[in-house]
Structure 1
């Protein structure tokens, strides 16, 4: 598939609509990407032809649904370069995946009141709150890597936080609020030197970067389907085989068991040990279709196109009076987070929406990060494969007009 944003927009009929008489410009991709017809059709085919519960019946539909579901797992495994397909656990999203790890670590007894967990000041609430809850349950200490003025992590401070008490490093690969791409490979290597496990929140990296979990050497990697052109309600937790085997299950129910008596239960093998109950079969199949779609476009092509849009928009926006950018790291994904001096970001975003440009405003579920910069929030424009240079022009025009109206 040759990469052309103008051509591939035909795959996204939702983009072909007007808001208040103006063509929709969808720039809220860091929250949720739109879904191509190939993914919609994969979902419809499942319900139209093979809808059945999996792994539990001998009839034809159940066999075909099982084959399709496990083929989806293999697609994800290949995409991430996991060592084994059973290292891929289907979850409801990144938040669910992180909670799976935090709860199994709590149950395992691997973290106690003399231990510590490191996160960063760039984290989404979903990579803060589960670790706070774990610390409350175990008495462990939560340590935070500070954020520098340009939106990058203070790596010298990170090195000082690393000691033998650290049992886990949990950081995002890409900041959802600022777009900063963190140097996770070197951070992982340093964490391993003190014997810590490492979880990477890949919710914002999965849409933009080639991810090789074996090369990274992380212990866990999590992401969501709805940020990579797939459906909501489905996500992935990658975990190293030996660690997943050591940790106990979190939820109990069907599928995650081998044998149940009233006296004792024997748990299933990977990956089913962590997939209690009927899974989101259609969601997994549609997620695999989304991954196939991205790979046909080419991850490098997507990233290069998004980077060109980001640079174009940054250059144009910085010419506007009172413009303030948040997150100016040299290595960024397709996010621009900004404000206009003297204007509340919500007011700016609401007027921009009236002009047909969809952006995100607020704290982006990163309240500690907003507090770091002393602001209530930002306006965030985030790009995807289907966005165009003409839409960048529309964004800049809308911001300029809205700021003039509010000044």
Structure 2
């Protein structure tokens, strides 16, 4: 029951504590708790120097905070070594790093790149680029209407030519957890490698890259309650070690001559220029905050709220939820349509009632086309949402058609 999960986490979030908005766009970006905001502030108040550069005390303290954040991410993902954690700006940059540094240097004509049809554009466009430039073929792994990938479809899609698969862990449209372990195993048997887009999974469920056996995994800090502008690419050490840098410039070198350069060791050869020390320290604080609550409590709260939302939404006869009938398979993501009303109008009506939802194609146009819809409205739930947020959403949804001139 929803009443079993009544802790008011909004008290930890300055914006949610002060604003009347029912914030239900968490799949786009999450709110920041006070401890994360304070962490970034503290970095610049107490440790503000350029990490990895100055050999004076303050510079070494900044470097220590930066590397401590890296170790926190390593433990969070259960990676084997800290050098397998590369700091980037976001998921998009992480995937592009893998595409440019690994894809362009390892794929060739005749190879196949397999992309899940449910992929965010950030995990599709880089591989379209790699296919164009290398002559490799791009193939899609198709899903069912509820977002599931059948064993038959997986077996059919993966061939001996599959040299790279780009797979979404949790779709930002359907919310279902994909069978990444199964896909990774089959791709490895075919001699390929797998990159996992974990932007929607890392904030909500525990991820173990070693158990999963992912070759690469990417996520954004801002979907994990951190400041914008910090992200992560995990990569197996042997793969990263063999890859050339994605960006070149300051701090990613060991030495430079007129003729060339010797690049730094992992992970620094992939972190050119001044790094986001404050963002990394904020990411550490966000992970510490999540760990203090625990994923069992987070999943229980989000599943309870999702079940309650679906129960209320199903009472509206002209509203149609995209994906599974099972609340626990949505992971807080509820995409829907309303007969005769454009999603942009739905979002505008919601906004008038201080309910923040997203409308559009959600950067997943091939998936929506596959499902037979062009645009949807998305409500995405986090553990800090409340029953009252859901009731405000559903009560307004009941009024939408009447406000648009229908009899209902």
TM-score scaled by length of structure 1: 0.96
Structure 1 counterpart SS, 2:183: helix
Q: Is the 8 A contact 1:349 1:379 kept in 2?
A: yes
Which position in structure 1 is the counterpart of 2:287?
Answer: 291
Please show how residues 267-278 of structure 1 align to structure 2 within 5 Å: 267-278=263-274
Which position in structure 1 is the counterpart of 2:192?
Answer: 196
Which position in structure 2 is the counterpart of 1:115?
Answer: 111
Please, which of 242, 253, 257 is the counterpart of residue 253 of structure 2? 257
Please, which of 387, 390, 393 is the counterpart of residue 391 of structure 2? 393
1:10 aligns with 2:7: no
Q: Quote how far apart the aligned CAs of 1:155 are.
A: 3.6
Please, which of 20, 25, 28 is the counterpart of residue 28 of structure 1? 25
Q: Quote how far apart the aligned CAs of 1:264 are.
A: 2.3
Please show how residues 359-374 of structure 1 align to structure 2 within 5 Å: 359-374=357-372
Please show how residues 77-226 of structure 1 align to structure 2 within 5 Å: 77-108=74-105, 110-226=106-222
For residues 211 and 147 of structure 1, the distance between their equivalents in structure 2, rounded to whole angstroms, comes to: 22
Q: Is the 8 A contact 1:306 1:383 kept in 2?
A: yes
Cα deviations by residue, 1:101-123 (Å, 9 ceiling, x for unpaired):
00012442x10011010011101
Q: Which 4+ runs in 1 deviate beyond 3 A?
A: 3-7
Segments of 5+ residues of structure 2 without an aligned counterpart are: none
Structure 2 counterpart SS, 1:192: helix
Which position in structure 2 is the counterpart of 1:237?
Answer: 233
Q: Is the 8 A contact 1:53 1:62 kept in 2?
A: yes
Structure 2 counterpart SS, 1:16: helix
Q: Is the 8 A contact 1:360 1:381 kept in 2?
A: yes
Segments of 5+ residues of structure 1 without an aligned counterpart are: none
Q: Quote how far apart the aligned CAs of 1:374 are.
A: 2.5
- Taking structure 1 as reference, are residues 5 and 292 closer, same or farther at Cα in structure 2, changes over 3 Å only? farther
Q: Quote how far apart the aligned CAs of 1:152 are.
A: 1.8
Which position in structure 2 is the counterpart of 1:43?
Answer: 40
Cα deviations by residue, 1:168-194 (Å, 9 ceiling, x for unpaired):
111110000111110111111111110
Tell me how large the CA RMSD over aligned residues is.
1.3
- Taking structure 1 as reference, are residues 106 and 145 closer, same or farther at Cα in structure 2, changes over 3 Å only? closer
Q: Quote how far apart the aligned CAs of 1:10 are.
A: 1.2
Q: Quote how far apart the aligned CAs of 1:227 are.
A: 0.5
Cα deviations by residue, 1:334-356 (Å, 9 ceiling, x for unpaired):
11111111111111111011101
* Alignment size in residue pairs: 400
For residues 6 and 34 of structure 2, the distance between their equivalents in structure 1, rounded to whole angstroms, comes to: 15
Which position in structure 2 is the counterpart of 1:333?
Answer: 331
